[in-house]
Amino acid sequence: MFTNTHPQNTSKDATLAKKFTAVRERTVSMCKTLSDADATAQSMPDASPAKWHLAHTSWFFEEFIIAPELGESARFNPAYAYLFNSYYDAVGPRHLRNKRGLLTRPSLEEIYAYRNHVNTHMHALIQQGKVPLDILELGLAHEEQHQELFYTDILHLFAQNPLKPAFTEFPAQPDSSAATTPPLSWTQFEPATPQIGHSGDGFAFDCETPLHPALTPAFKLANRNVTNAEWIDFIEAGGYANSKYWLSDGFATKTQNEWHAPLYWEKKDNAWWTMTLGGFAPVELDAPVCHISFYEADAYACWAGARLPTEAEWEHAAKQTGATIPSSSPPLKPLAQTGDTLTGMFENVWEWTASAFLPYPGFQINDGAIGEYNGKFMSGQMVLRGGSCGTSPAHTRSTYRNFFHPDKRWQFSGLRLAKDIT
């Protein structure tokens, strides 16, 4: 349970103070090439402007740490409590999500001033030992979530521009013309009742707890993600047109939205191209397919004679095989996979599972507004596991439960196949 008391821990204070600086600086560095116009525009209701991400992640610390400790007079601007609240009903009313892109004021310069104001107060409170460490940890993890959302939202925004502008320049990759994707193979797992969820040692979101046993009958998991080349086979085989592979809601959604390929894919000179953070580029055939919905992932699995893994199977496999968590900065695009054993579980694409986002046995919602962080969203959403090319390495662990509605495609989302063993 989150509290508003500060357990004195000098070593942890110092560690979190250092992390606070690093996380806050990283968010600003990600936005350094954006103009005020770039940072203000909102391309769809699901996405938020960069300026809003910069402000909301500051609002979190001001709302849950600074104002409770120092009083309302410590706020940078009282109006920001309304402008930059996301979904916390217990805090009060808020600006409508689908109108965030209309906030031409405050300016980007003012938002940076807001961040500096919050940083100054936070550093002082941390130094004085007046910060509840559990809420500080949550705030840092929250900002890391928004860092990835920033990447996916700015990609969606730039994709709407006919100029197809690049957000960043990808470093040159080694010549891969002779490289080939490892053939699809399977790792087998015997029937088990593994402990699923977070142990409580270190930070985790509340929805990752409590640790509990979960039955996993015998299954096998693919050694890698489904690739773009394999997805093209699905397209060319009529996978998007054949209803027998699709859930009813999925086929209706696909038809209504006229999906014929992953989000951002376009045919150019009889070849597939896609929008990336590096601009418009040919689809890399050996890279994992990305920007697909749960509905598409499930349809592909059915077409391939397989299925999606449950989240318990996925976590059990990751823990059993010691899947490697990356330690370097994310590459911002899925990369071709190598290796014959389970690979790429944390650094390429979030992997859709067959599991709905529901509470674990014994889950309890935290008291107060903080309790709204995850629990209120446990309806109508599906779990994704692992991490992506946009996820901070410090934000990745085998118990992490990402979740989105089954029709969402603008995230770095892909799939890994599973099969029953009969």
Shared domain for 225 and 82, answered yes or no, is no
Judged against a pLDDT cut of 70, whether residue 8 lies above it is answered with: no
| pLDDT band (50, 70, 90) for residue 4 | very low
The number of distinct structural domains making up the chain is 2
Is the domain of 130 the same as that of 197?
no
Within a domain: 233: yes
- Categorize the per-residue pLDDT at 15 as very low, low, confident or very high, splitting at 50, 70 and 90: confident
Same domain, 135 and 259: no
The answer to whether position 298 is within a domain reads yes
- Overall average pLDDT of the 319-344 stretch: 87
Whether residue 151 is found in the same domain as residue 296: no
Please indicate, yes or no, if residue 169 is contained in any of the structural domains. no
Q: How far is 403 from 380, CA to CA, in rounded Å? A: 10
Give the per-residue pLDDT at 340: 73
Count of residues in the chain: 422
**Which of 110, 103, 108, 109 lies closest to 76 in space, CA to CA?**
110
The kind and range of the H/E element at 348 are: none
The verdict on 243 and 357 lying in the same domain is yes
Residue 416 has pLDDT above 80, yes or no: yes
Answer yes or no: do 338 and 242 share one domain. Answer: yes
The confidence score (pLDDT) of residue 3 equals 40
Is residue 264 domain-resident? yes
Output the pLDDT for position 215: 96
The span from the CA of 301 to the CA of 306, in Å, is 5
Peptide bond preceding 165 in cis form (omega within 30 of 0):
no
The stretches of 160-200 forming alpha helices (DSSP H) are: none
Indicate whether 7 pLDDT > 70: no
Structural domain includes residue 349: yes
- Do 151 and 214 lie in one domain? The reply is no
Over the stretch 166-210, which tens digit does the pLDDT of each residue have?
999 997 765 554 457 889 999 999 999 999 999 999 999 999 999
Does 206 lie in the same domain as 143?
Answer: no
What are phi and psi for residue 354, nearest 5 degrees?
-85, 5
**Whole-number pLDDT of residue 66:** 98
Residue numbers of the domain that contains 155: 10-159
Q: What distance lies between CA 260 and its chain's CA centroid? A: 24
Whether 166 maps to a domain, the answer reads no
* Domain at 292, CATH number: 3.90.1580.10
pLDDT class for 338, splitting at 50, 70, 90?
confident
Average pLDDT, the chain: 93
* Residue 100: predicted pLDDT: 98
| 106 and 225 belong to one structural domain | no
Residue 307, strand partner residues: 418
Would residue 144 count as lying in a domain? yes
Is the predicted pLDDT of residue 154 greater than 90, yes or no? yes
Q: What is the pLDDT of residue 339?
A: 76
Regarding whether 194 and 148 lie in a shared domain, the answer is no
DSSP state letters, 24-58: HHHHHHHTTT--HHHHH--SSTTS--HHHHHHHHH
Are 211 and 149 found together in one domain?
no
Mean pLDDT of 82-96: 95
Contact (CB, 8 A) for 51 and 37:
no
Q: What is the pLDDT of residues 212-262, one digit of tens each?
A: 999 999 999 999 999 999 999 999 999 999 999 999 999 999 999 999 999
In a domain, 171, yes or no: no
Greatest C-alpha distance within the chain:
65
Residues 110 and 204 in one domain: no
Structure tokens at 211: 């640790």
Contact 133, 6 (CB under 8 A): yes
- How far apart are alpha carbons 98 and 103 in whole angstroms? 11
